Amino acid sequence: MTYRGPVTPPRRPRGSLARLSAAAVITAMVVVSVGVLPQAPAAAVAEPRLFLPAVDQPPADLASYYGQALAWAPCSGGLSCAWLTVPLDYSAPAGATIRIRVARYHATGSPAQRQGSLIINPGGPGGSGVDFTSYVAEYVAPAVAAEFDIVGFDPRGVAQSAPITCLTGRQTSVWLATDGSPSTRAQERTLMRRAAQVARGCLSKSPTLARHVGTENTVRDMDILRQTLGDTQLNWLGFSYGTFLGTRYAEVFPDRVGRMALDGALDPSLGAMEISEGQSRGFQQALKRFAADCAKRSSCPYRGSAQAVLRGINVLLAGLDRSPMPTDRGRPLNQAEAITAVFYPMYTTLLWPALRRALAQAEQGDGSGMLAISDMASDRTGPDTFGSNMTSAFYAISCWDLPAPPGSAGLRAAAAAWSKDADVPELAKAMAWGNAPCTTWFGHSPRTPRPAATTTVAPILVVGTTYDPATPYWWSQALSRQLSTSTLLTYDGDGHTAYGGGSPCIDRAIDTYLLDGTMPARGTVCR
């Protein structure tokens, strides 16, 4: 599940040029490693008992949370921001609390037009909903912005909301440069040793919070947020991992579901290795499409055919495994970072030209372009500095949410199987070994992977992209089958998630659903 990451690739907002920014490009997760940290005792923090509130009214011990008034104040980007107080541990709501950062873009229409709030999530796990709010408010149709407050929040453990720390900046840099597709037992041991230290880092650096992040707690935070916003039902626009949050909300609070659009769906029946295998297939498919496109262009360094492009990428990665390449960034490009630079542009065709240029540079012995893409993916802002805690949050949430994957022998077997027929074998291997940090995690959610089951009668819109690398199309098909009230809307195209990706057909269908609940006709395919 290493690459279950960014869900908001660069998009083309209405009336403006395509742009790349920290808000629009939520960090992709990459195969990383961390330095040695002392082992924290496994019993240092008690396992929480997850509390399942009734759906008709909040229990008495949560009444003060549901009844709180948010104190809104102006913040950046023309937004209003507030702090939402929630229990650290829902099994002990009278105990310690944490604060969730919330941002709101006020509806532009009259009070008579207003339908309530539209809560958004950009995915990750680990993406900042606060950072995402201005972007979504700018992009949605004017009618949606007129009738809904656009509300984003940083889930617990993420960005401003009690941010979890598992890795220092220096440890993150080391981890990003670690060989994530090991070819020797010595490299495997190094990867597994450093991977085990990620969990230790969470427990040693954030011991109080480490066992209280995760989807089950965030879903309960979402319901408190809904109530404090004054909404009887939750209207939700979730991307990638945000579709899992929405699905779980519909399961736990079925009577409180309003309009719910799930774009780039996760299949909740899958475990960690099944997720990674699906993503491995998805990225291989996307790379073949990139290669076919590249081969037609004069800027492509590999000419003749898609196979020539894929062969060139494989030769480049093999060479970097033996010897790093100089760059203008003060550090060389190694294979691990080059793999990131290859997979990250598969999230959006807007980055395909950048990858072509970077590959052409690399063919001339200059790895600067490839390293720049890798640094973009990891949200690196300087030497050993990063713009967010997304690397820590990703592992803290992902590894908690799912049962532990197999150890090194199982990862090695998966890497061999997935890479056997892969067009870019090193990427397939990295997908398998990317699960290494979760193999020794200190605790897991009591929810085990299973198909979604909800009694909600609310119609839910599931959106899938046929060549989505990170949330493959068949996952959206599976989730739509599991949600009996859902309709599947298909985007026949490339990239991760569809809304705002340049298809007027997709945007109109989602905007219409959000405004009045009207579903697209079953079987609708947009281009």
pTM comes to 0.91
Q: Which residues of 401-423 are buried (b: 16+ CB within 10 A; e: fewer)?
A: bbeebeebeebbebbeebbeebb
- The answer to whether the beta carbons of residues 116 and 19 sit under 8 Å apart is no
> Which positions are catalytic?
240, 468, 496
Does the pLDDT at position 23 exceed 90?
no
Amino acid of residue 78: G
As a whole number, mean pLDDT of residues 217-228 equals: 98
pLDDT for the residue numbered 46 = 32
Report the distance separating Cα 48 and Cα 55, nearest Å.
21
Does the pLDDT at position 372 exceed 90?
yes
Does the pLDDT at position 13 exceed 50?
no
Query: What is the band of 44 on the pLDDT scale with cuts at 50, 70, 90?
Result: very low
As a whole number, mean pLDDT of residues 82-89 equals: 98
Does the pLDDT at position 38 exceed 60?
no
Query: What is the band of 1 on the pLDDT scale with cuts at 50, 70, 90?
Result: very low
Report the distance separating Cα 439 and Cα 271, nearest Å.
13
Does the pLDDT at position 345 exceed 60?
yes
Give the residue, 366 or 30, on which the prediction is more confident: 366
Residue 163: which of 122, 130, 119, 193 has the closest Cα? 130
pLDDT for the residue numbered 70 = 98
Report the distance separating Cα 283 and Cα 428, nearest Å.
9
Query: Kind and range of the H or E element at 488?
Result: strand 486-494
pLDDT, averaged across the chain: 90
- Cα R_g (the chain), whole angstroms: 22
Q: Going from the N-terminus, what domains does the chain have, and what CATH number goes with each?
A: 75-165+208-270+448-526 (3.40.50.1820), 169-195+272-401+405-437 (no CATH)
pLDDT for the residue numbered 6 = 36
pLDDT digits (tens, 9 = 90+) for 125-142: 999 999 999 999 998 999
Please tell me whether residue 459 adopts helix, strand or coil conformation: coil
Q: Is the peptide bond before 125 cis (omega within 30 degrees of 0)?
A: yes
Query: What is the band of 478 on the pLDDT scale with cuts at 50, 70, 90?
Result: very high
Does the pLDDT at position 15 exceed 60?
no
Report the distance separating Cα 171 and Cα 448, nearest Å.
31
Does the pLDDT at position 40 exceed 70?
no
The alpha carbon dihedral of 312, 318, 321, 324 has a sign of negative
pLDDT digits (tens, 9 = 90+) for 449-473: 999 999 999 999 999 999 999 999 9
pLDDT for the residue numbered 49 = 32
Query: Kind and range of the H or E element at 104?
Result: strand 97-105
pLDDT for the residue numbered 77 = 86
Does the pLDDT at position 8 exceed 50?
no
Report the distance separating Cα 362 and Cα 144, nearest Å.
45
Please tell me whether residue 22 adopts helix, strand or coil conformation: coil
As a whole number, mean pLDDT of residues 205-219 equals: 98
Query: What is the band of 34 on the pLDDT scale with cuts at 50, 70, 90?
Result: very low
Percent of the chain with pLDDT over 90: 87
Terminal CA-to-CA distance of the chain, rounded, Å?
29
Report the distance separating Cα 145 and Cα 353, nearest Å.
32
Does the pLDDT at position 11 exceed 60?
no
Does the pLDDT at position 255 exceed 70?
yes
Phi and psi at 120, nearest 5°, equal -120, 155
pLDDT for the residue numbered 56 = 53
pLDDT for the residue numbered 268 = 98
Bridge partners for 325 per DSSP: 333
Does the pLDDT at position 58 exceed 60?
yes
Residue 289: which of 340, 355, 336 has the closest Cα? 355
Residue 164: which of 435, 383, 394 has the closest Cα? 394
